[in-house]
């Protein structure tokens, strides 16, 4: 292993993680400085719901594609969302496995699983780029950051896919690109829309709290099929 | 840059900083522009291919300000995240068009966003910011002013309100032959203080008397306040928390002053949400009494056996429309259905329903913003299709705003359905116990008695069918009727015949009803003659009420029924009689 690759796998990642942690913490402090709105009213609704139930339901919402009309009706988009995010988890995980537990990649099964997930995420990324450019609805709501973040992740998936076997016999270029991109990704994330997962627990917490208190969450749904 | 910013733009930005809370900041920051919410909005569905109606697009019009001024990336590299400031009043006007004219704050996109972005909440905030610098649709300004100054959003004067309650009381006492059937006003320490929507006083007094019948037959210890009776709150629509707080406080303080134990809120989505939920937050007021929707009260009375109902009184198929505020912001979805199943023989669910139901398109104050009427009616196609698919004859809703919104779209899309409320169906289905049945002193059928004997009424309308229909009803009840088919003729006949009452259409060729009305009010010979406006365009009401002359004495929306025409005519003539005594 070259010094450069060793640097990229270790020092560079650690510095990038540190920067990300500092920026994230600052971001959280910034968010917490805004006062949370107080709710004085007594619960409404059927009486069998509460803020707590609403919060749990709200957090779990993302894992319940049937819970929202949007994910029910756009199940293809929802499935893409799941695979894409699994791809992010796998590609990030890879950046820890390679430097700290490379022996795990001796398992052909793990290599195959990671490659399938990351490969699928890469294809979905490509599809999402096309969708964002081709749909006038998506174009209308897209900023340069939206395009860049998507392209960044898709290209990163591409190099992560080829890095999974952690094989330097054909040269280190792929691994170097993957680790440099990972570091860039970690530093860039807090400044971009990719930081949404930082806000996700908060937005869903507050929406769940309000709608739980008012008996809206969990949503009662009686589908067309249930018509008697 | 600051030096080139208009005073209003500067104020909007300064006030935005004060309005931000953690929930709103989270919603601003969390959007990933995934587009999942796009199809949840009725405006998008009714305007295919136009991305300017997409919730995220509309949200970005507000979000760009947040990003430019409060979010670090937007402050450092604004173009990268589409962060932009606002500089001119024209830009604020454009924002007004979006936040008031392209969104009813229905919250349907909010519950369809995987990230939990609550666009409706920050859209309301943006409305409030614009209102704070005087940028708003004219209707919003007028209604807000009435609610600030007169205490209710339709400018109903105290004497008209009390007059209406007294007139309804007389009818109830007559009907039941029991003085206890009268509506108690300002009764101390009642179990229930009943609050209503001013629309009920102005256009739909039957809902008040129906509720009164239910309270009477249930043996309720109830009252209606002489002041602070308006449970609606335009602050919810205008985004003005100060107005919201002041209106809610007025109501809460009155209940406390009367020593009421429970505030019951008549069927109104935004009224229920404002009074039951948001009002306490706006007013920063902690209550020492309970509150509930009249739907819950009626249902409880049936469960407790305090009133008996017979669903065979309502045989036509009915469907139920969930008001957005009731369903998506207050969870009031099951009680109305349970009640409906008890009082109507055939309830047909509409799809989607409950929290996923579509907006009536009249929400968010849209009915008061006549400049957006064509846009509203176009977006109403989604609701119209939903209604038509049920095949029901009646659409029931627990919201006065929805009654207006639905009536308008039913007319526009020629659905031939009628809109009603649960209170009307419950009253219709009431089984009146023998001992409570009044034996009228003189049993004279209303028509035979000729209650309009001796009255001369001028019916003005350019539709001959309508003129014949209304004239026949009035003549059947004993009136002598004269007609006019356009504005000039109306003035001429009115001067010649000196009628006791004029029913006047607003839209007519030539001199239209608005001009005729103003001319009449300014004419010394005609100004004392009561006028009842009858129109198929309720959105034009404002044009009449905004005139600098005394308002009309009554108002009826087409299509009219014999019952609604007679109730209004009698009311106006009785009032006239009292005034001339
Ligand atoms: S508001 Fe929610 S659903 Fe709509 S684009 Fe933003 S993140 Fe996606
Ligand atoms: S709140 Fe309702 S009207 Fe407004 S954008 Fe969302 S879905 Fe559309």
Structural domains for chain A: 3-24+70-199 (1.20.950.20)
CB atoms within 10 A of CB B17: 10
| Cis ω before B85 (30° cut-off from 0) | no
Q: Are strands B290-293 and B394-397 parallel, antiparallel or unpaired?
A: unpaired
Q: pLDDT per position in chain B (581 positions), as tens? A: 455 999 999 999 999 999 999 999 999 999 999 999 999 999 999 999 999 999 999 999 999 999 999 998 999 999 999 999 999 999 999 999 999 999 999 999 999 999 999 999 999 999 999 999 999 999 999 999 999 999 888 989 999 999 999 999 999 999 999 999 999 999 999 999 999 999 999 999 999 999 999 999 999 999 999 999 999 999 999 999 999 999 999 999 999 999 999 999 999 999 999 999 999 999 999 999 999 999 999 999 999 999 999 999 999 999 999 999 999 999 999 999 999 999 999 999 999 999 999 999 999 999 999 999 999 999 999 999 999 999 999 999 999 999 999 999 999 999 999 999 999 999 999 999 875 444 333 333 444 446 788 899 999 988 877 888 888 889 888 899 999 988 888 999 999 999 999 999 888 877 888 888 888 988 889 988 999 888 877 666 666 666 677 778 877 777 787 877 887 888 788 755 554 54
Nearest to B79 among A71, A144, A216 (CB): A144
* B437 part of a folded domain: no
Q: Do B183 and B282 lie in a common domain?
A: yes
pLDDT computed for residue B63 by the predictor: 98
Total domain count, chain B: 4
Q: State which residues form the domain around B387.
A: 311-429
Query: Nearest residue CA, atom 7 of ligand 1?
Result: B31
In a domain, B465, yes or no: yes
Residues B556, B503 share a domain: yes
A104 token code pair: 């795990």
CATH code for the domain of B319: 3.40.50
pLDDT at B447: 42
Task: Count A/B contacts: CB-CB distance under 8 Å.
Answer: 190
3-state secondary structure of B483: strand
Inter-chain touch B81–A144, beta carbons under 8 Å: yes
User: Are residue B286 and residue B319 in the same domain, yes or no?
Assistant: no
List the structure tokens of B490. 């109306």
Instruction: Answer yes or no: is B443 within a domain.
Output: no
Task: Tell me whether residue B579 is in a domain.
Answer: no
State the pLDDT at residue B574.
Answer: 73
Residues B397 and B504 in one domain: no
Give the β-pairing of B480-484 and B456-460: parallel
Predicted confidence at residue B3, as pLDDT, reads: 59
The verdict on residue B146 lying in a domain is: no
**Taking CB atoms and a 6 Å cutoff, what residues make up the pocket around ligand 2?**
B 40-41, 43, 55, 58, 103-109, 119-120
pLDDT of residue B438: 40
Dihedral pair phi/psi, residue B398, rounded to 5°? -100, 50
Q: Do both B284 and B317 map to the same domain?
A: no
Q: Are B115 and B28 in contact (CB under 8 A)?
A: no
pLDDT at site B536 = 74
B528 within domain boundaries? yes
Same domain, B161 and B276: yes
pLDDT digit string (tens) for B526-541?
988 999 888 877 666 6
Residue B508 confidence (pLDDT)? 81
Asked if residue B294 and residue B264 are part of one domain, the reply reads yes
Alpha helices in B222-366 (DSSP H): 234-238, 241-258, 269-272, 279-283, 294-303, 324-330, 334-343
Residues in contact with ligand 1 by the CB-under-6-Å rule are B 31-37, 55-56, 113-115, 117
Q: Which one of B106, B136, B166 terminates a domain?
A: B136
Are B199 and B296 members of one domain? yes
Picking from B136, B165, B183, the residue at the C-terminal end of a domain is: B136
Judge if B217 and B340 occupy the same domain: no
Which residues are CB-contacts of B311 (< 8 A; sequence separation ≥ 6)? Answer: B342, B343, B344, B345, B429
pLDDT, tens digit, 9 for 90 and up, residues B301-356: 999 999 999 999 999 999 999 999 999 999 999 999 999 999 999 999 999 999 99
Per-residue burial over B436-474, b = 16 or more CB atoms within 10 Å of its CB, e = otherwise: beeeeeeeeeeeeeebbeebebbbbbbeeebbebbbebb
The CATH number linked to B469 is 3.40.50.2300
pLDDT in tens, B251-262: 999 999 999 999
User: Does residue B379 sit in helix, strand or coil?
Assistant: helix
* Co-location of B111 and B198 in the same domain: no
Same domain, B160 and B297: yes
Q: How far is CA A83 from CA A68, A72, B159, in A?
A: 18, 16, 66
Report residue A226: phi and psi, to 5°: -80, 0
The domain boundary, picked from B303, B325, B341, lies at: B303
Distance CA A26, CA A11 (A): 23
* Whether residue B35 sits in one domain with residue B167: no
- B280 lies in a domain? yes
Give residue B542's pLDDT: 61
For residue B143, is it within any domain?
no
Say how far residue B232 (Cα) sits from the centre of its chain: 8
| Residue A174: partners with Cβ closer than 8 Å, 6 or more residues away | A159, A162, A163
Residue whose CA lies nearest to ligand 1 atom number 8: B34
């Amino acid at each position: 292993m070259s010094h450069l690759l060793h640097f990229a796998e270790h020092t560079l990642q650690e510095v990038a993680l540190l920067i990300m942690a500092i920026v994230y913490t600052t971001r959280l402090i910034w968010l917490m400085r805004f006062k949370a709105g107080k709710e004085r009213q007594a619960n409404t609704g059927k009486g069998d719901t509460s803020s707590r139930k609403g919060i749990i339901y709200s957090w779990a919402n993302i894992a319940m594609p049937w819970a929202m009309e949007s994910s029910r009706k756009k199940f293809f988009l929802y499935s893409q969302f799941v695979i894409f995010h699994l791809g992010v988890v796998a590609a990030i995980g890879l950046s820890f496995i390679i430097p700290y537990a490379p022996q795990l990649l001796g398992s052909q099964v793990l290599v195959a699983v990671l490659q399938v997930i990351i490969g699928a995420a890469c294809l979905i990324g490509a599809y999402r780029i096309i969708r964002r450019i081709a749909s006038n609805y998506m174009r209308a709501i897209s900023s340069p950051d939206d395009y860049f973040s998507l392209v960044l992740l898709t290209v990163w998936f591409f190099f992560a896919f080829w890095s999974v076997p952690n094989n330097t016999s054909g040269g280190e270029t792929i691994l170097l690109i993957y680790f440099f991109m990972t570091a860039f990704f970690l530093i860039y994330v807090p400044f971009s829309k990719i930081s949404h997962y930082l806000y996700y627990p908060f937005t869903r917490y507050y929406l769940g709290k309000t709608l739980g208190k008012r008996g809206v969450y969990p949503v009662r749904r009686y589908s067309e099929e249930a018509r008697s | 840059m600051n030096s080139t910013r208009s005073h209003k733009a500067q104020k909007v930005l300064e006030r935005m900083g004060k309005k931000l809370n953690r929930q709103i900041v989270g919603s601003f920051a969390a959007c990933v522009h995934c587009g999942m919410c796009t199809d949840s909005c009725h405006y998008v569905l009714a305007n295919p291919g136009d991305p300017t109606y997409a919730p995220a697009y509309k949200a970005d019009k507000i979000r760009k300000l947040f990003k430019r001024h409060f979010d670090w990336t937007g402050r450092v590299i604004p173009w990268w995240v589409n962060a932009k400031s606002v500089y001119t009043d024209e830009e604020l006007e454009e924002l007004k068009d979006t936040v008031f004219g392209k969104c009813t704050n229905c919250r349907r996109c909010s519950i369809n966003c995987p990230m939990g972005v609550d666009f409706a909440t920050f859209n309301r905030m943006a409305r409030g910011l614009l209102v704070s610098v005087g940028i708003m649709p004219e209707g919003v300004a007028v209604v807000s002013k009435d609610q600030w100054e007169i205490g209710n959003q339709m400018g109903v004067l105290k004497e008209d309100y009390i007059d209406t309650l007294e007139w309804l009381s007389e009818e109830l006492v007559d009907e039941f032959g029991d003085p206890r059937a009268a509506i108690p006003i300002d009764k101390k320490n009642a179990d229930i203080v009943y609050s209503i929507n001013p629309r009920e006083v102005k256009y739909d007094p039957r809902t008040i008397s129906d509720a009164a019948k239910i309270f009477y037959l249930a043996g309720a210890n109830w009252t209606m306040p002489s002041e602070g009776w308006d449970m609606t709150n335009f602050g919810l629509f205008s985004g003005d928390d100060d107005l919201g707080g002041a209106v809610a406080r007025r109501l809460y303080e009155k209940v406390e002053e009367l020593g009421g134990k429970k505030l019951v809120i008549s069927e109104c989505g935004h009224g229920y949400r404002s009074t039951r939920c948001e009002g306490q937050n706006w007013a920063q007021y902690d209550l020492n009494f309970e509150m509930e929707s009249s739907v819950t009260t009626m249902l409880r009375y049936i469960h407790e056996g305090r009133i008996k109902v017979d669903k065979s009184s309502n045989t036509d198929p009915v469907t139920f429309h969930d008001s957005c505020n009731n369903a998506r912001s207050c969870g009031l979805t099951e009680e109305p259905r349970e009640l409906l199943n008890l009082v109507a023989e055939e309830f047909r669910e509409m799809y989607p329903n409950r929290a996923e139901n579509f907006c009536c398109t009249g929400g968010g104050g849209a009915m008061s913003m006549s400049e957006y009427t064509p846009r509203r009616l176009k977006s109403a196609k989604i609701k119209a299709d939903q209604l038509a698919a049920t095949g029901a004859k009646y659409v029931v809703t627990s919201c006065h705003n929805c009654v207006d919104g639905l009536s308008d779209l039913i007319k526009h899309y020629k659905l031939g359905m009628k809109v009603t409320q649960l209170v009307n169906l419950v009253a219709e289905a009431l089984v009146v116990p023998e001992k409570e049945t009044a034996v009228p002193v003189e049993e004279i059928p209303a028509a035979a008695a000729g209650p309009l004997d001796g009255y001369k009424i001028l019916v003005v309308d350019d539709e001959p069918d309508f003129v014949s229909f209304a004239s026949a009803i009035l003549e059947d009840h004993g009136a002598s009727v004269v007609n006019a088919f356009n504005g000039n003729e109306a003035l001429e006949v009115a001067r010649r015949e000196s009628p006791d009452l004029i029913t006047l259409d607003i839209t007519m060729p030539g001199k239209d009803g608005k001009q005729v009305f103003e001319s009449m009010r300014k004419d010394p010979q005609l100004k004392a003659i009561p006028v009842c406006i009858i129109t198929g365009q309720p959105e034009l009401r404002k044009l009449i009420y905004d005139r600098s002359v005394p308002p009309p004495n009554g108002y009826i929306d087409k299509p009219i029924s014999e019952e609604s025409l007679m109730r209004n005519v009698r009311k106006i003539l009785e009032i006239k009689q009292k005034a001339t005594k």
